[in-house]
């Protein structure tokens, strides 16, 4: 099974077929179990050829940076963190030259970029696998961990470690951003329904929405974008939210705060969902804005499990492609 993954890029969720999506999640579940039962983790290569992962970050990060560093270290390899000032991607040197140089030294590149075109440019010019660690269009690593989390709580076990998520309803409250875009495609790959409820003008990328509808058609996925917040949340199995202002949009923060005012996941909103609904947040969270502390820290929150699963999901991907 792993041969089909060797050397592959992960730029967006649609890069994975429905079968491959399940394979990555099954591997992540397995790695999570192994890590808990056996403290040491098998190396993917001999110690003489420890895989090296370059981490290019144009924006700040806690979870993504730490989980990639821990994942590659647990797999017997090492990470090299490159901060924005280190390489000045596209300014000091072209994306093409950075990709070609790094490919001579490292085994994989993970990149967090402002523009999605930067990460696709790296993938085009690198001869090693490139992983999108968040761009303005997608956050595929987040979506893998999110669906692993939903699967753990709500998924019906299938053979091969796969989980049946079909028919579950995910409601995303807030900005139709990079996280929402990848979730649309992840729902399409797993047969989940997804509603995005947001103020007018803050919906998801139209191209991604169309692609999700196309990919999810065969499994009967329903996708909806609506500003009717309360109606949207009814019957939700999982409620997801993210910040109103993403990295790179800071100049719009005040306008966005006004536009998103009512779009808050709080106890009153959560009461409209199914009683066993879980609450997800990719974090960082702005407590008191898109989510209240009582909900984020409450019994229905799976946000910290979700954060943990970033490690297992990315480790699964690295172990498959390296």
List residues near ligand NVA by CB under 6 A.
134, 177-179, 242-243, 246-247, 282
* 312 catalytically annotated: no
Measure the CA dihedral 33/37/39/45, to 10°.
-50
Write the binding mask 66 to 85 for ligand CP: x where contact by CB under 6 A, - elsewhere.
Answer: --------------------
Catalytic option among 139, 163, 193, 281: 139
**315/241 Cα distance (integer angstroms):** 25
Q: Footprint of ligand CP on residues 235-294 (CB under 6 A)?
A: 282-284
* 163 catalytically annotated: no
Which of 146, 124, 143 is CA-nearest to residue 134?
143
Span interacting with ligand CP, options 62-70, 73-81, 184-192, 219-227, rule CB under 6 A: 62-70
Could you tell which of ligand NVA, ligand CP, none binds residue 62, using a CB distance below 5 to 8 A set by kind?
ligand CP
User: What is the number of the residue whose Cβ is closest to ligand NVA?
Assistant: 246
What is the distance in angstroms between the CA of the first residue and the CA of the last residue of the chain? 13
**87/56 Cα distance (integer angstroms):** 9
Could you tell which of ligand NVA, ligand CP, none binds residue 181, using a CB distance below 5 to 8 A set by kind?
none
* 142 catalytically annotated: yes
* 65 catalytically annotated: no
* 198 catalytically annotated: no
Give whichever of 133 and 321 is closer to ligand NVA, judged by the CB atom.
133
- Classify 128 in phi/psi space as left (phi over 0), alpha (psi -120 to 50) or beta: beta
Catalytic option among 27, 63, 65, 112: 112
98: enclosing H helix or E strand: helix 95-105
Could you tell which of ligand CP, ligand NVA, none binds residue 154, using a CB distance below 5 to 8 A set by kind?
none
What are the φ/ψ torsions at residue 115 (nearest 5 degrees)? -90, 135
Instruction: Enumerate residues 6+ apart whose C-beta is below 8 A from 19.
Output: none
Measure the CA dihedral 107/76/16/232, to 10°.
-120
> By CB under 6 A, how many residues form the interface with ligand CP?
9
Contact 112, 61 (CB under 8 A): yes
* 282 catalytically annotated: yes
Q: Footprint of ligand CP on residues 140-179 (CB under 6 A)?
A: 142
Q: Residues interacting with ligand CP, by CB under 6 A? A: 61-64, 134, 142, 282-284
* Catalytic residue positions, numbered: 112, 139, 142, 242, 282, 310
């Amino acid at each position: 099974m792993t041969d089909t993954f060797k050397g592959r890029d992960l730029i967006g969720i649609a890069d994975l077929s429905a079968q491959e999506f399940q394979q990555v999640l099954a591997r992540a579940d397995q790695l999570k179990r192994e890590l808990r039962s056996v403290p040491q983790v098998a190396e993917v290569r001999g110690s003489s050829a420890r895989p090296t992962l370059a981490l290019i970050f144009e924006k700040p990060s806690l979870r993504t940076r730490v989980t990639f560093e821990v994942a590659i270290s647990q797999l017997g390899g090492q990470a090299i963190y490159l901060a924005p000032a280190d390489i000045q991607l596209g300014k000091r040197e072209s994306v093409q030259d950075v990709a070609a140089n790094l490919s001579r030294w490292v085994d994989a590149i993970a990149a967090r970029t402002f523009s999605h075109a930067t990460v696709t440019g790296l993938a085009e010019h690198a001869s090693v696998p490139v992983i999108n660690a968040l761009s303005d269009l997608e956050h595929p690593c987040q979506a893998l961990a999110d669906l692993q989390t939903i699967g753990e709580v709500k998924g019906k076990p299938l053979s091969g470690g796969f989980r049946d998520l079909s028919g579950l309803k995910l409601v995303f409250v807030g900005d139709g951003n990079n996280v929402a875009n990848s979730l649309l495609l992840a729902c399409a790959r797993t047969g989940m329904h997804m509603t995005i409820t947001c103020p007018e003008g803050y919906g998801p990328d139209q191209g991604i929405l169309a692609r999700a509808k196309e990919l999810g058609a065969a499994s009967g996925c329903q996708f909806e974008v609506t500003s009717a917040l309360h109606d949207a949340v009814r019957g939700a199995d999982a409620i997801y939210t993210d910040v109103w202002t993403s990295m790179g949009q800071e100049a719009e923060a005040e306008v966005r705060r006004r536009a998103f005012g009512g779009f808050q996941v709080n106890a009153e909103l959560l009461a409209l969902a199914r009683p066993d609904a879980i609450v997800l947040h990719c974090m960082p969270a702005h407590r008191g804005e898109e989510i209240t502390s009582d909900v984020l820290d409450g019994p229905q929150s799976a946000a910290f499990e979700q954060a943990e699963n970033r490690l297992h999901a990315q480790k699964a991907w690295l172990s498959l492609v390296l």
